[in-house]
Amino acid sequence: MKNSEIHTDDRKNNTLTKEAKQIERVALYALLINFVLTGIKCVLAYFSGSLAVAASAIDSATDSVASLTILGGLKLSTRKSPTFPYGLYKIENVISVIMAIFIFFAGYEIVRNILSPSAEPPTITLGLIGWLSAGILITFLFGQYAISAGKRTKSPTLIAEGRHRQVDVLSSLVVVLAVGLHYFGLNIDFFGITIDHIAAGLVLIFIGYAGWQILSDGMRVLLDASLDPETLEQIRKIIESQPMVTEIRRLAGRNAGRYRFLETEVVLRTGNLKKAYAISQHIEADIRKQIPLVERVVIHYEPQVREHLRIAVPLADTLGHVSAHFGEAPYFAMLLLRLADGNIEQQEVVTNPHTNVPKAKGIRVAEWLVEHKVDVVVVKEDLHKKGPAYVFADAGVELQVSAAGRLSEMIDFFRKQVVVSDQS
């Protein structure tokens, strides 16, 4: 392995390590904040006698337990063992599902405590409202921070944590609204439907949406659902950009935590195992470079089984005279030859789009022919140790030299020299 590749891998590992530490740090912050909020709300509930505040304290205590689960899960998710050779990345998604359940439970607590009247009227003060408002502000700011960190590190756990904090903000607002109305002596009732009922309904809509999103995303990963179509299409284009690849027979991918696992089956224009392995390594490197957080890439490859050959011949004109120059040839004959009997199934003459290019004309033409999936190029001039020859070699395109002056003679030559060797 080259030194530049080693340095690239080191930088990638360092980046992933920093991201993992950041995720653990955010989870620790969440735990500490939940402990503090639980303590404050317990004290406020004790002195005020408010069931709404007590419910909010219970909700924060539940969040503390969830934060402990998250922190423990993050510690386990990066470990590998012989029992779990693919790692424990899905623990993050299991935690996300658990977080969704906590969100639904928070909604239940909101309904149960707000709609259940207290036995004695609570003692509400401006200090109580101020402390609750401060808790809302802290929760909101931390939720935004967790979502931002989750999107940056592609962590479903942190995104779930941030969304849960958003639910907590809404539930806390309902609590503040309830105690505020009581403090100012307001008791609005529309045919039995109070402001508390309306606020609780709005909170439950948000809880249902956020909880379902987190639950469905987590379950999709646990059930090994496919990667999103946009990512798979991007990966497909990366693989197809490799000239040696003639066909992608299968492409599948899944998420596990923040990481992606990919598997593909491709057909290569070579039967050389050493060269095929090198091509697969190039494909994997390109995927890892352009797609973030790819943990594993499995590439199955097999040689192309040819039934036809696509042949390109440079022409001086459209009458079939072979050009003595490759890059400056104004036309190219594109032939589709059937290997079973050597007959030409398709023949067309196309214009060379690079005849007026001032520099690297031959290389441009060679790359153009590779894009057209040409298998063999037959020329009059010797391109050995020239740019086009290297392009063809990298793409697995066979290069043949013939002194034939007309296309018909070139076809006869090719049938004798190329078809026989290809079938053998």
Taking domain 229-303, whether its CATH number is 3.30.70.1350 is answered by: yes
**Burial class (CB within 10 angstroms; exposed 0-12, middle 13-18, buried 19+) of 157:** buried
Where are the extended beta strands (E) located within 76-130?
none
Domain 308-423 falls in which CATH fold? Nucleotidyltransferase; domain 5 (3.30.420)
Long-range CB contacts (< 8 A, 24+ apart) of 247-251?
A: 247/304
Under 8 Å between Cβ of 317 and 330: yes
Rounded-to-integer distance, Cα 304 and Cα 284, Å: 20
Give the tokens for residue 143: 């939720």
What are the sequence ranges of the domains in the chain? 3-222, 229-303, 308-423
* Superfamily name with CATH number, domain 3-222: Cation efflux protein transmembrane domain (1.20.1510.10)
Rounded-to-integer distance, Cα 278 and Cα 301, Å: 11
Q: What angle do CA 206, 208, 211 make, to 5 degrees?
A: 100
DSSP 3-state of 340 = coil
Query: Can you give the pLDDT of all 424 residues of the chain as single tens digits?
Result: 444 444 445 555 555 566 667 777 877 888 888 888 888 888 887 887 666 676 677 667 666 666 666 666 666 666 667 777 667 777 767 777 877 787 677 667 666 665 665 545 566 678 888 888 888 898 889 888 888 887 877 777 678 778 877 777 877 787 787 778 767 767 666 655 555 455 556 656 766 776 787 788 778 777 777 788 899 999 999 998 888 888 899 999 988 766 788 999 999 877 778 888 888 999 999 998 888 778 889 999 888 777 788 899 999 998 889 998 898 899 999 998 887 777 788 899 999 999 888 888 899 999 999 888 888 898 888 888 888 998 888 888 888 888 888 888 877 776 665 445 544 4
Which DSSP symbol is given to 331?
E
Under 8 Å between Cβ of 24 and 68: no
